[in-house]
Structure formats: structure tokens, C-alpha cells
């Protein structure tokens, strides 16, 4: 998805609205109009090389950064997912990888848990979605309590939502 020849340094000065290559000038955007358009689409400006776009969660207290194919973090997650796959079916193709930045409260709670456990590890659990966030890279997370994926992202990362739900055949892991 990255433009040929695009460098990570370019992302640091480019307008935060995906598709615009104008220099940043107004709080990470090239204009007030692009800042407004991004807000309407639920987008924040990218701040880190390797991010294609950053969605703010419907509750406003978390964000999800869509990682580019060139992101080392994406490569690590894809490799770990493939190695961890234990089902008899073949490993599904990884369409997208998001870096989720939880709310400060949830991050603090996780850090306390990780310190108590001593060996926190990344795990993969499939879940369904009532919205198109995991399917369409133009869609921001929704606020529906019926959407298992977005409820996990906005709530507590509780596995109570993992597994079924609408669109479970196209699950997010």
C-alpha cells in the first residue's frame, strides 16, 4: 500500500490526511480543511514511520494505527501469528495489522498485570465484528455494543467477546 519511493522521513512532514502529500502546517495537517476532513473520518495524523493511517476509537480514548508492509512491527506480528497457528486449516492470509494504543487507564492496568505475571505474551484470538473496521481500511472503529471487535478495543480486551459474532467467518485475530 505504500507509495513507491515513499520514505519514512516523508511521513513525518506530510499532511496527516491519507493521500495528501502537502507539507504539514496546521497541527499535523496542511490545512484546516484537511484537519476537519480527517476528524470527520475518525482519523488522527500519523506520528510514527510505518503507519499508514491512525483511527481514533469511537469512545475517543484509544487509537488503532494501520501498519504498512514496511513496518518492522507488522513483520514481527505476522511472523508470530503464522508460527502460533495450530488449527488443522492452513494459516489465513494476514490482510492488516493494527497497533492498538489503549486508554491510559487500560494501559496502566495492563502494566500492573504484566508486572505481577512476569511473562506477558502476545496472544491471538479470533473474534467477529458487526462493523467493517477489520475489513475496510477506510472504516473507523464503531461504538456498537453488538460489535465484538470494537467492544474489545474500547472496553477491556476481555476475551468474553472472542470467538463468534457477526462476520465471524472473516474474523479478526
**Which tens digits make up the pLDDT trace of 81-129?**
999 998 898 998 898 899 988 888 888 988 898 899 887 778 787 888 8
Work out the number of other CB atoms within 10 angstroms of the CB of residue 76: 12
On whether the CB atoms of residues 148 and 130 are closer than 8 A, the answer is yes
* The model's pTM: 0.77
Per-chain mean pLDDT for the chain? 81
Work out the number of other CB atoms within 10 angstroms of the CB of residue 67: 22
C-alpha to C-alpha distance for 146 and 43, rounded to whole angstroms? 23
What does the pLDDT read at residue 35?
94
Higher pLDDT, 71 or 8: 71
C-alpha to C-alpha distance for 37 and 22, rounded to whole angstroms? 15
Residue ranges of domains in the chain: 1-46, 50-170
The alpha-carbon radius of gyration of the chain (Å, integer) is 17
C-alpha to C-alpha distance for 152 and 23, rounded to whole angstroms? 36
Amino acid at each position: 500500500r505504500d507509495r513507491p519511493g515513499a520514505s519514512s522521513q516523508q511521513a513525518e512532514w506530510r499532511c496527516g490526511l491519507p493521500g495528501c502529500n502537502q507539507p504539514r502546517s496546521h497541527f499535523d495537517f496542511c490545512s484546516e480543511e484537511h484537519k476537519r476532513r480527517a476528524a470527520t473520518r475518525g482519523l488522527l495524523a500519523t506520528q510514527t514511520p510505518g503507519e499508514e493511517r491512525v483511527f481514533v476509537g469511537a469512545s475517543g480514548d484509544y487509537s488503532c494505527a494501520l501498519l504498512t508492509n514496511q513496518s518492522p512491527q507488522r513483520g514481527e506480528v505476522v511472523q508470530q501469528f503464522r508460527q502460533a497457528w495450530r488449527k488443522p486449516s492452513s494459516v489465513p492470509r494476514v490482510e492488516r495489522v493494527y497497533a492498538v494504543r489503549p486508554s491510559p487507564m487500560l494501559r496502566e492496568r495492563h502494566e500492573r498485570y504484566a508486572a505481577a505475571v512476569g511473562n506477558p505474551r502476545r496472544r491471538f484470538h479470533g473474534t467477529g465484528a458487526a462493523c467493517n473496521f477489520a475489513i475496510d481500511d477506510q472504516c473507523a472503529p464503531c461504538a456498537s455494543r453488538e460489535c465484538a471487535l470494537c467492544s474489545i478495543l474500547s472496553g477491556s480486551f476481555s476475551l468474553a467477546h472472542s470467538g463468534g459474532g457477526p462476520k465471524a467467518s472473516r474474523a479478526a485475530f
